[in-house]
């Protein structure tokens, strides 16, 4: 079981902390670091802040630096984020502080050779000679983790290019996590985990079993689509003020969502995409706060709001579209645009879908064959994705 400690206890233990905490460093404006808590990531021995920084939406280097000053020492990105610029930005911000941060990145490669090429490109972009955690990116089924990919991770470890091997996934964690545990190749699992997930997804038990086996658990998608994050003036909503008003009804829901994830002691770290200092302050504050009845009520209201919009990633509709649409993937991509307000990232991900998938139009179907047991209005949402992103 993780042993969470405050910054003060961490300092007393003599373990490394972000160097910005030291007296000879200049702090950038940001939330104070005192509220950060730290623990050990599975059995890796890596000492990490419980809040991690998700690099997928970050574009302001000063926010990364402020996060570091606030005590965050875990930074996650991927080779494909922002065409490699996310890795490049992290490398630039933390040049000279390499040992004070834990860097995680990911590859979408399908073969060993391609994965190792990706890894070299990542090392170059970061400007480092090792990566702490190297994930196989978005592997939701056993077929997504060919033997050669684990071999690439073993080779990279032997060469000293990575310290730990990870796998990230968005769906079907109930099946995928036990599969990875059985194979015994994986040090860290990065998985979707949030308050919207129905009990039959068995996330609590699945995560607990993996953590018990010594695998480090990093949660993502904790904001369940981030639909309360749409800000006044967001260009996507300027033509729809009612939708904007509705979305702003639950301003505290995102903090409650973080607290919900942190209430689970088997979650070693939760990464959150942070774009500005207000979000940074909210998230840092949430780390040490208890999950309360008030949070529960807020999330219940948020749940009602997002029910038709947000895919819970349960995997129940896999293969249900006769025209071959990867429904859950497409819904996730749409939420980057209309939940998190990251249009260009959504479009980049959409354009990575196979050409035949991008050509399908849900408006051509008289009836939709996909029936979501969780209430997502699948054809409406996919029509929107196709209109906005194709
Ligand atoms: S659309 Fe519905 S059924 Fe399909 S993965 Fe999402 S929540 Fe599950
Ligand atoms: S409307 Fe439904 S069945 Fe038709 S293409 Fe879209 S998801 Fe598939």
pLDDT at 233: 42
Q: Whose CA is nearest to atom 6 of ligand 1?
A: 311
Residue ranges around ligand 2 (CB below 6 Å)? 321-323, 325, 327, 360, 362, 365, 368-370, 378-379, 382
- Gap from CA of 225 to ligand 2 centroid (Å): 22
Give the residue ranges of the chain where pLDDT is below 70: 1-34, 226-251
In a domain, 340, yes or no: yes
pLDDT at 340: 74
In a domain, 309, yes or no: no
The atom of ligand 1 lying closest to the CA of 171 is 5
| d(C-alpha 169, C-alpha 9), whole Å | 33
Is the separation of the CB atoms in 205 and 183 below 8 Å? no
Q: Whose CA is nearest to atom 8 of ligand 1?
A: 314
| d(C-alpha 105, C-alpha 68), whole Å | 18
- Gap from CA of 361 to ligand 2 centroid (Å): 8
Kindly report, residue by residue over 257-272, the tens digit of the pLDDT: 999 999 999 999 999 9
How many separate domains does the chain show?
2
For residues 358 and 256, membership in a common domain is answered with no
Is the separation of the CB atoms in 261 and 255 below 8 Å? no
pLDDT at 305: 82
Query: What is the b/e burial string over 305-343, where b = at least 16 CB atoms within 10 angstroms of the residue's CB?
Result: bbeebbbbbbbbbeeebeeebbbbbbbbbbbbbbbbbbb
Predicted TM-score (pTM) of this structure: 0.82
For residues 274 and 128, membership in a common domain is answered with yes
For residues 295 and 370, membership in a common domain is answered with no
Kindly report, residue by residue over 36-60, the tens digit of the pLDDT: 889 999 999 999 999 999 988 777 8
- Gap from CA of 347 to ligand 2 centroid (Å): 20
In a domain, 321, yes or no: no
- Gap from CA of 348 to ligand 2 centroid (Å): 22
For residues 226 and 113, membership in a common domain is answered with yes
pLDDT at 149: 97
| Cα 150 to the center of its chain, rounded Å | 22
pLDDT at 336: 85
For residues 41 and 159, membership in a common domain is answered with yes
Q: Checking DSSP bridges between strand 74-76 and strand 216-220, what pairing results, if any?
A: unpaired
Residue ranges around ligand 1 (CB below 6 Å)? 311-317, 327-328, 331, 372-374, 376, 378
- Gap from CA of 371 to ligand 1 centroid (Å): 8
CATH number of the domain where residue 262 is located: 3.20.20.100
* Residue-number span of the structural domain to which 353 is assigned: 327-389
In a domain, 197, yes or no: yes
In a domain, 13, yes or no: yes
pLDDT at 40: 94
In a domain, 175, yes or no: yes
pLDDT at 90: 95
Last residue of a domain, one of 287, 303, 319: 303
For residues 294 and 357, membership in a common domain is answered with no
For residues 22 and 124, membership in a common domain is answered with yes
For residues 339 and 385, membership in a common domain is answered with yes
For residues 275 and 348, membership in a common domain is answered with no
Proximal ligand: closest to the CA of 383: 2
For residues 223 and 272, membership in a common domain is answered with yes
In a domain, 347, yes or no: yes
In a domain, 318, yes or no: no
For residues 13 and 74, membership in a common domain is answered with yes
Residue 84's region, left for phi above 0, alpha for psi from -120 to 50, else beta, is left
Mutate to test the pocket of ligand 1, among 201, 314, 339 (most ligand atoms within 8 A of CB): 314
For residues 375 and 249, membership in a common domain is answered with no
| d(C-alpha 298, C-alpha 301), whole Å | 5
């Amino acid at each position: 079981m993780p042993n969470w400690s405050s910054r003060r206890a961490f300092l007393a233990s003599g373990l490394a902390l972000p160097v910005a905490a030291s007296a000879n460093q200049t702090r950038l404006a940001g939330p104070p670091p005192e509220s950060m808590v730290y623990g050990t990531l599975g059995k890796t021995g890596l000492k990490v802040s419980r809040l991690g920084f998700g690099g997928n939406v970050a574009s302001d280097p000063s926010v990364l630096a402020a996060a570091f000053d606030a005590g965050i020492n875990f930074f996650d990105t991927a080779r494909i984020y922002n065409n490699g610029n996310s890795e490049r930005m992290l490398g630039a911000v933390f040049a000279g502080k390499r040992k004070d941060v834990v860097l995680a990145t990911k590859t979408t490669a399908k073969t060993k050779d391609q994965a190792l090429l990706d890894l070299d490109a990542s090392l170059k972009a970061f400007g480092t000679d090792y990566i702490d955690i190297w994930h196989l990116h978005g592997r939701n089924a056993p077929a997504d983790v060919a033997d050669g990919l684990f071999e690439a991770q073993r080779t990279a470890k032997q060469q000293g290019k990575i310290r730990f091997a990870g796998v990230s996934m968005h769906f079907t964690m109930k099946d995928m996590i036990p599969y990875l545990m059985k194979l015994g190749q994986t040090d860290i699992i990065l998985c979707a985990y949030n308050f919207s997930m129905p009990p039959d997804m068995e996330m609590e038990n699945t995560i607990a079993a993996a953590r018990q086996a010594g695998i480090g658990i990093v949660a993502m998608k904790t904001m369940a689509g981030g639909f309360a994050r749409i800000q006044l003036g967001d260009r996507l909503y300027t033509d729809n003020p009612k939708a904007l008003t509705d979305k702003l009804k639950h301003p505290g829901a995102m903090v409650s969502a973080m607290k919900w994830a942190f209430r689970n002691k088997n979650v070693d770290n939760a990464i959150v995409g942070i774009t500005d200092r207000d979000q940074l302050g909210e998230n840092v504050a949430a780390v040490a706060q208890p999950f309360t009845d008030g949070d529960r009520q807020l999330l219940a209201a948020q749940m009602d709001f997002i029910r038709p919009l947000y895919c819970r990633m349960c995997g129940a509709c896999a293969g249900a579209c006769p025209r071959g649409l990867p429904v859950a993937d497409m819904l996730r991509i749409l939420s980057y645009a209309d939940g998190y307000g990251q249009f260009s990232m959504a479009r980049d991900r959409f354009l990575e879908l196979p050409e035949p998938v991008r050509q399908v139009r849900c408006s051509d179907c008289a009836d939709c064959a996909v029936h979501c047991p969780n209430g997502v209005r699948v054809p409406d949402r996919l029509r929107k994705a196709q209109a906005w992103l194709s």
